[in-house]
Amino acid sequence: MDKNKITIITRHDHTLQSIIDQCYELDMMEDFNIEGRIISQLAYLPIAQDSLIVTTSDLFIPAIKPYLAENAKIIVAQRCINHTNIRSMLEIPRGMKVLLVNDGKERALETIAMLKEMGIELEFYPYYPGETTYPQDITIAITPGEAKLVPSSIPKVIDIGSRVIDLATWIEIYAHFNYGMLDLRKLTSRFVKSVFYITQELSVEIQKANLLSMQLEVIVDRIEDGVLAIDEEDIIRSINHKALDVLHLQGRNVINQKASACIPAHFYQIIWQLPYEREEVMNWEGQTFFFRKTHITIEGRTFGYLILFRRASEINKLEHDYRRKLTNKGLFAKYTFNDLTGRSSSFKKLTGIAEKMAKSNTTVLLLGETGTGKELLAQAIHNASPRRWEPFVGVNFAAIAESLLESELFGYEEGSFTGAKKGGHIGLFEQAHKGTLFLDEIGDASPLIQNRLLRVLQEREIMKVGGNRVIPIDIRVIAATNRNLEQMVGDGLFRADLYYRLNVLPLYIPPLRKRKEDIPLLIQEFIKRVCHELKRPAFQFSQGAIEIMLQYGWPGNIRELENVIQYLGHIVDDVVLTEHLLFNREEKYSQVATDAYNHEFETMYQSYVSKGFIHEMQGILQTIKKANYAVGRNYIISQMRTQGWDITEQQLRYRLHLLKQDNLLEVGRGRQGSSLTKKGEEFICWMKE
Ligand SMILES: Nc1ncnc2c1ncn2[C@@H]1O[C@H](COP(=O)(O)OP(=O)(O)OP(=O)(O)O)[C@@H](O)[C@H]1O
């Protein structure tokens, strides 16, 4: 049987194309013989006599009438948006401003009305030829097949295609041909299928979105900061565990709730007032928090704001832990040449040479009395060298027990001795790989360690304790000592071959008494530091006091000068007078001094406690006090043994080093032994109290 004929007549080609596409999508070709014409084709493409005419506007009827049979039936189609094209529109965030572009004002408004009817919740602005104004922040245009009319400044264009024939018109067409109920059911089910197809697609999208949102939730929860996202309608969109904890909120049921109703009022007030894109410090429930507020922007449009916050104590702890790790490992060089104070010609000459040495890769040997700044200079050299981004590892040969030194320096393999850590241990040499190794107090290295060091410096490779693998290492060595190495070589106490390996670029740092010009500058520098530390106003030296400072011999060099200024920072109001300078006085250290030292003594005491040898320190100080004159190490060891303290020479050497560093002991002339300083005596009294 011949199928019923339909001729679809439109003005534009693209409209016709969309409707024909729709006919194929709905399988209309099964029921009808459909052909299409645009008005301009009618003159030369005749229409079959018995064809039903379907046109898209009654305005076209006068133009098409002359080409139709007398009794031809015309249906003016009602049109709707093609469902299959709306997906891309659904991806636009709700409420966003968009330009609706069509070829005339009515048609633009009509399309807007249709889209709204379909539930598309966007802020539409009609645009058509003749209309030139629209909000400049619009970035998306939607058009039913009129992409060519979209202003070129709009970056994103969504073409939803020309409108197609709606269901009511199709029913009218079926009725015209007297199709039965069965066919109508078929028709509606085809329509439903097309909608169902989008629903299916959307449901896959929704599943994907749900999965993504769950993944995001997990990620946001892993963030250590409190995270809170609030949209422009004050609705909480995201909140992580940390934020829930801080705000004492239960579960995630606050999501999608009004922020002002769920969040404690004071906290809400804080975040409301926060400036955008700036770190702010605020108090909440007696604790200090760091806050950051940021806009949430999608495609140029702001959808709300994000708050990140964290307790200041946690940040401080992180920083503290980080620094402690670096410092513990000794991997970090803090000082540069800019941190070295001095203007004397000898100092300038010294730093000039050191800067040149920094550029090379050769071993440097720093020689100089205690406290002259050898370690500072070693760090500055490292930081001015090509290795500055690599580790700076310091090892103090007076500080590490000999029994541990070898494993500390070279590391050990797992199971190499009882008590060895699982996984073994990486030694300081290996940690310094690519960087600088600072061998401090090298004159205190035992003969065994001297042997091992020599081998490493010759071979540039190490073998771990208990290991059989050779590990190549690339390090630059800077060694330092306050001992006379040359004489030690002569006395057979230091290996000559090691000495020559280390003594490639020797650098002698003169004692402070030989560069007095630096004293005023150093005084100024240390006053600045101590006043900053104690948060107190600056102070000055009287003429008399400065003269004494210049005359004094400074056996402890810059460290001693620094300690004197520290002390003065505690006891002087604004001018240092001669009587304040304890090394200039007979009676020394008054009660005032004790008060001033309280804080410092407490710190020292705690540091000895934490090292686990406060009682030994007390024993050493008491032994020296009892002797009442400068005593040598052997004397101290023997005296302590009679009191039940079993202490090795190495241990004693390290403890004496600390006591000297803290200015509790001083080394007698000619290095015959150690005696108590007045500060040391004060410390003993302080401990008794
Ligand atoms: N040129 C300088 N400018 C400022 N401060 C300095 C200078 N030289 C040394 N200091 C300070 O003096 C103190 C001692 O310095 P450092 O520890 O480097 O000396 P050292 O020679 O290595 O001592 P030791 O031989 O006892 O280990 C440090 O607090 C350091 O900051």
303 domain residue, yes or no: yes
Domain end: 198, 214, 245, which one?
198
Domain end: 510, 545, 575, which one?
510
342 lines ligand 1 (CB under 6 A): yes
Whether residues 494 and 347 share a domain: the answer is yes
Whether residues 499 and 590 share a domain: the answer is no
Whether residues 354 and 449 share a domain: the answer is yes
Domain that holds residue 275: 223-314
Sequence-distant (≥ 6) Cβ neighbours of residue 113 within 8 angstroms? none
Query: What is the total count of domains within the chain?
Result: 5
The reported pLDDT for the residue numbered 590 is 45
pLDDT at 522 over 90: yes
Supply the CATH number for residue 65's domain.
3.40.50
Average pLDDT of the residues in 7-34: 89
209 domain residue, yes or no: no
How far is ligand 1, taken at its centre, from the CA of residue 334, in Å? 13
pLDDT at 600 over 80: yes
User: In terms of Cα–Cα distance, which of 555, 506, 517, 547 is closest to 346?
Assistant: 517
Beta-carbon-side half-sphere exposure of residue 580 (alpha carbons within 13 Å): 23
216 domain residue, yes or no: no
Whether residues 555 and 504 share a domain: the answer is no
191 domain residue, yes or no: yes
Choose between 67 and 301: higher pLDDT. 67
pTM of the model: 0.47
341 lines ligand 1 (CB under 6 A): yes
Strands 540-541 and 392-396: unpaired
Average model confidence (pLDDT) across the chain: 85
**How big is the chain, counted in residues?**
689
How far is ligand 1, taken at its centre, from the CA of residue 662, in Å? 13
How far is ligand 1, taken at its centre, from the CA of residue 592, in Å? 28
How far is ligand 1, taken at its centre, from the CA of residue 667, in Å? 17
Average pLDDT of the residues in 651-672: 81
Average pLDDT of the residues in 441-462: 88
The reported pLDDT for the residue numbered 215 is 81
Q: Which atom of ligand 1 is nearest to the CA of 558?
A: 12
The amino acid present at 273, given as its one-letter code, is Q
Confidence grade of residue 610 (pLDDT, cut at 50, 70, 90): confident
Choose between 228 and 674: higher pLDDT. 228
242 lines ligand 1 (CB under 6 A): no
User: In terms of Cα–Cα distance, which of 296, 269, 293 is closest to 279?
Assistant: 293
How far is ligand 1, taken at its centre, from the CA of residue 478, in Å? 16
211 domain residue, yes or no: no
558 lines ligand 1 (CB under 6 A): yes
Q: Cα 592 to the chain's mean position, in Å?
A: 47
Whether residues 580 and 616 share a domain: the answer is yes
- The CA–CA distances, whole Å, from 100 to 11, 17, 110, 685 equal 21, 21, 10, 89
Whether residues 553 and 594 share a domain: the answer is yes
Whether residues 151 and 176 share a domain: the answer is no
How far is ligand 1, taken at its centre, from the CA of residue 338, in Å? 14
Q: Ligand 1, atom 23: nearest CA belongs to which residue?
A: 371
215 domain residue, yes or no: no
Q: Which of 334, 375, 381 to mutate to test the pocket of ligand 1 (most atoms within 8 A of CB)?
A: 375
The amino acid present at 221, given as its one-letter code, is D
User: Strand pairing partners for 290?
Assistant: 281, 310
Whether residues 393 and 457 share a domain: the answer is yes
Supply the CATH number for residue 553's domain.
1.10.8.60
How far is ligand 1, taken at its centre, from the CA of residue 370, in Å? 8
Q: Is the dihedral of CA 524, 525, 526, 531 positive or negative?
A: positive
Sequence-distant (≥ 6) Cβ neighbours of residue 162 within 8 angstroms? 12, 14, 15, 17, 18, 19, 82, 144, 145
Sequence-distant (≥ 6) Cβ neighbours of residue 288 within 8 angstroms? 281, 282, 311, 312, 313
Beta-carbon-side half-sphere exposure of residue 464 (alpha carbons within 13 Å): 21
Whether residues 368 and 424 share a domain: the answer is yes
| ipTM of the prediction | 0.96
Whether residues 504 and 532 share a domain: the answer is no
Whether residues 553 and 434 share a domain: the answer is no
**What is the 8-class DSSP label of residue 512?**
G
- The CA–CA distances, whole Å, from 623 to 558, 633, 647 equal 28, 11, 13
User: In terms of Cα–Cα distance, which of 50, 84, 55 is closest to 69?
Assistant: 50
Output phi, psi for 503, to 5 deg: -85, 40
Q: Which of 438, 519, 558, 666 to mutate to test the pocket of ligand 1 (most atoms within 8 A of CB)?
A: 558
Confidence grade of residue 439 (pLDDT, cut at 50, 70, 90): very high
pLDDT at 570 over 50: yes
pLDDT at 11 over 60: yes
Encode burial over 42-71: b for 16+ CB neighbours within 10 A, e otherwise.
beeeebeeebbbbbbeeebeeebeebbeee
pLDDT at 154 over 60: yes
Domain end: 264, 279, 314, which one?
314
560 lines ligand 1 (CB under 6 A): no
Q: Which of 438, 533, 559, 654 to mutate to test the pocket of ligand 1 (most atoms within 8 A of CB)?
A: 559
Supply the CATH number for residue 284's domain.
3.30.450.20
291 domain residue, yes or no: yes
Whether residues 561 and 478 share a domain: the answer is no
pLDDT at 587 over 50: no
The reported pLDDT for the residue numbered 378 is 96
Tell me the pLDDT tens digit for each residue of 455-473.
888 888 888 877 777 888 8
Average pLDDT of the residues in 405-413: 82
Q: Ligand 1, atom 12: nearest CA belongs to which residue?
A: 559
495 lines ligand 1 (CB under 6 A): no
Max distance between CA atoms of the chain, in angstroms, equals: 138
140 domain residue, yes or no: yes
Interatomic CA distance for residues 137 and 250, integer angstroms: 40
Supply the CATH number for residue 479's domain.
3.40.50.300
